[in-house]
């Protein structure tokens, strides 16, 4: 009887743990897309669109090329990258996004446009889209 209870509890934990541990699957689209099983990520080329919802925070990335790891909840984007979150927009050459920490590292001719007509130009920046800190 004790063994049965143990296995029943283990089965329930296995069934419900993924729902608690992982955020929602991002929306992914591109002109050309495939899944690289060796790296465990989607490889996207041409008109890349990635929209991630993470506990109420929605970040949208458009770019020429990107790689998205759904398991690690990370995105690497290159070429005409545009990151949008609510009324905040970044434009840059390359970006590295982490959904778990809600951060984006942007590099290369960074232009930031925010609410209240705030504009920032830089070579690189780190943005936390939960706290809205650049």
Q: Which of 117, 101, 26 is nearest to 68 (CA)?
A: 26
| pTM to 2 decimal places | 0.76
Q: Which residues constitute the domain of residue 72?
A: 24-128
| Assigned domain for 64 exists | yes
| Assigned domain for 13 exists | no
Strand locations in 4-102 (E): 27-29, 32-36, 41-54, 57-69, 74-85, 88-98
Q: Which of 20, 12, 48 is nearest to 33 (CA)?
A: 48
**CATH code, domain carrying 87:** 2.60.450.10
pLDDT confidence of residue 67:
97
- Give the tokens for residue 2: 């004790």
| Assigned domain for 17 exists | no
What are the pLDDT tens digits along the chain (134 aa)?
665 555 555 555 565 554 444 457 889 999 999 999 999 999 999 999 999 887 777 889 999 999 999 888 899 999 999 998 888 888 999 999 998 888 889 999 999 887 777 788 989 999 887 787 88
| Assigned domain for 98 exists | yes
| Assigned domain for 113 exists | yes
| Assigned domain for 19 exists | no
| Assigned domain for 110 exists | yes
């Amino acid at each position: 009887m004790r063994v049965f209870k143990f296995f029943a509890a283990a089965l329930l934990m296995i069934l419900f743990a993924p729902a608690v541990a992982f955020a929602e699957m991002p929306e992914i689209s591109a002109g050309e897309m495939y899944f690289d099983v060796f790296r465990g990520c989607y490889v996207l080329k041409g008109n890349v669109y990635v929209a991630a919802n993470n506990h109420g925070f929605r970040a949208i990335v458009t770019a020429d090329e990107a790689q998205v790891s759904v398991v690690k909840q990370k995105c690497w984007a290159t070429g005409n990258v545009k990151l949008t979150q609510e009324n905040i927009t970044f434009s840059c050459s390359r970006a590295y996004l982490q959904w778990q920490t809600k951060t984006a590292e942007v590099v290369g001719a960074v232009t930031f446009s925010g609410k209240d007509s705030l504009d920032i130009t830089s070579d690189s920046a780190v943005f936390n889209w939960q706290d809205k800190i650049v």
